[in-house]
Amino acid sequence: MNLPFRIARRYLWSRKSQRLIHLVSGISVLVVAAVAAAMVTILSAFNGIEDLVEELFSSLDTELAVLPSDGRVMSADWVDSLAAHPGVAHAGGVLEQDVVVRWRDEPHVCSLLAFDVDHARHTGLAGRLRSGDVLKADTLGQSCGYVGLGMAIQMRLPTLGDAPVVLSVAAPKRGRSLGAMRGSNLLDGGLEGMMVSRRLSVCGTFSINAETDAGTLVAPLDFAQEVLQRPGAVSRIELVPAEGWGSAALKASLTERWPELSTRTRREKNALIHATSRAEKWATFAILSFILVVAAFNILAALTMLLLDKRRDIDTLSAIGMTGREIRQVFSWQGLLINALGAAAGIAMGITLVVLQDQYGLVRLEGAMVPAYPVALHALDVLGVALVVLGVGGSFSAAMVAYLVRRMAPDAG
């Protein structure tokens, strides 16, 4: 075994001539451990938030979507062609457009999101239903849809009971847009002749996030194609990768086979949200890394006192033939071992806190969409924390030791 390392290891655990050295060394380990634990827990918290945002903003879609390269819609015939691809486990058409919804003559502009019942089972809609527990296309011989909870509250829809709530869903005739109608009185004379209207029963409400809840109506695909005057057309085709296929691999394969199609992964759809979350995560990581420099000054104090305590040992080591470089390595290893001990204790503490939070929800969130603060432990984050703690602490210790040995024991330098 390396001789400087063996001596440093003995110095770490051996009895010092002053208790104060033990105290300062212990404080150094605790400071490094606290920073390492904070890094692990905070990074895990950011991971949890990112996963939660991904879930909240992706409950009504699948992992991959094929979009029309030109225009707003594409032929629904593409569904069968894409479903035949070996990397596709499921393909479903989705039609989406703004519509005007009325109940008791009160208009509300929202986004109509339509797909068939089979495709609905491949989304997260079932787990987000607040009322109505069966995904179905019709009830009492009439098309049936699901209303966002916020939208239901805004429109003052009654609690679902025996008598179904029936909405009037209207869309502009082809060639017209609802963009200019937002915020205006949709009951003004003349507008009725510009709209195509159909009736839709409400068979449930769902809650995903505030934005989606306040402005989304989910309906069967054939109903939407009729009211939007888009027979045999869809806005996009959403895909579920087959086993052994990832989103990126499937996207590359589809692009190679059908270059005229445009594909988009779920992460690309929410690219801004993910970019913002990751920027905050790594900015926090950088700030905590700088705090390690403060912890390094505690190690400086411990090493200074250790060098004073072992000054005679330095002369002895020099006398028996150890070079100045080897003597510096002894105390560099001492600083690195303090960092390693603190890093190990801190990472273990951080992992324990994250696991306890994940299992028992120690930090609760009253009135939020999730009962407890979300966390997610990633192995790469733990490895990154260990490397940063050891890298910063080890480099700082080596530089300090080289300076101290030259000042306190010039003959050994």
Band of pLDDT at residue 184, cut at 50, 70 and 90: very low
Output 105 or 96, whichever has higher pLDDT. 96
Whether the predicted pLDDT of 28 surpasses 60: yes
What is the structure's pLDDT at 110? Answer: 92
CA-wise closest residue to 220 among 199, 206, 239: 199
Quote the crossing angle between the two packed helices 19-56 and 271-309, to the nearest 10°.
170
- Alpha helix locations (H) across 270-323? 271-309, 311-319
CA-wise closest residue to 222 among 164, 141, 137, 98: 137
Adjacent-strand bridge partners of 101: 108, 169
Whether the predicted pLDDT of 248 surpasses 90: no
Q: 341 φ, ψ to 5°?
A: -65, -45
Band of pLDDT at residue 217, cut at 50, 70 and 90: very high
What is the structure's pLDDT at 300? Answer: 72
Whose tokens are 């159909």? That residue is: 198
Most confident of 56-60, 64-68, 190-194: 64-68
CA-wise closest residue to 350 among 383, 395, 372: 383
CA-wise closest residue to 212 among 149, 146, 156: 149
Say whether pTM exceeds 0.75: no
Q: How many residues does the chain have?
A: 413
E strands, 30-82, are 64-67, 74-75
Hey, what's the torsion of the CAs at 378, 381, 382, 386, to 10 degrees? Answer: 170
Alpha-carbon span 80 to 92, nearest angstrom: 9
What is the structure's pLDDT at 369? Answer: 66
Whether the predicted pLDDT of 370 surpasses 50: yes
What is the structure's pLDDT at 238? Answer: 92
Whether the predicted pLDDT of 182 surpasses 70: no
Output 85 or 327, whichever has higher pLDDT. 85
3-state secondary structure (DSSP) of residue 344: helix
Tell me the mean pLDDT in the region 31-57.
Answer: 85
Alpha-carbon span 137 to 216, nearest angstrom: 17
Alpha-carbon span 203 to 223, nearest angstrom: 14
* Domain map (residue ranges) of the chain: 3-56+273-412, 64-269
**DSSP string spanning 73-122?**
-EETTHHHHHHTSTTEEEEEEEEEEEEEEEETTEEEEEEEEE--HHHHTT
CA-wise closest residue to 390 among 349, 332, 351: 332
**Model pLDDT for residues 330-353, shown as the tens digit of each residue:** 767 777 777 788 889 999 999 999
257-285 b/e (C-beta count within 10 Å ≥ 16 → b): ebeebbbbbbeeebeeebeebeeebeebb
What is the structure's pLDDT at 94? Answer: 94
Taking the alpha carbons at both ends of the chain, their separation in whole angstroms is 23
Alpha-carbon span 375 to 353, nearest angstrom: 10
Q: How far is CA 365 from the centre of its chain?
A: 18
3-state secondary structure (DSSP) of residue 412: helix
Among 54-68, 229-243, 328-342, the least confident range: 328-342
Q: 245 φ, ψ to 5°?
A: -115, 130
CA-wise closest residue to 155 among 91, 210, 103: 103
What the block records as the tokens of 65 is 């979507």
Burial of 219 (0-12, 13-18, 19+ CB in 10 A): buried
Q: 106 φ, ψ to 5°?
A: -100, 115
Among 82-86, 195-199, 240-244, 363-367, the least confident range: 363-367
| % of the chain surpassing 70 pLDDT | 76
Whether the predicted pLDDT of 189 surpasses 60: no
What is the structure's pLDDT at 293? Answer: 75
Tell me the mean pLDDT in the region 315-322.
Answer: 68
Output 11 or 250, whichever has higher pLDDT. 250
What the block records as the tokens of 413 is 């330098």
Band of pLDDT at residue 291, cut at 50, 70 and 90: confident
What the block records as the tokens of 277 is 């979350």
Q: What is the mean pLDDT of the chain?
A: 80
| % of the chain surpassing 90 pLDDT | 23
What is the structure's pLDDT at 324? Answer: 66
Determine contact, residues 135/205, Cβ cutoff 8 Å: no
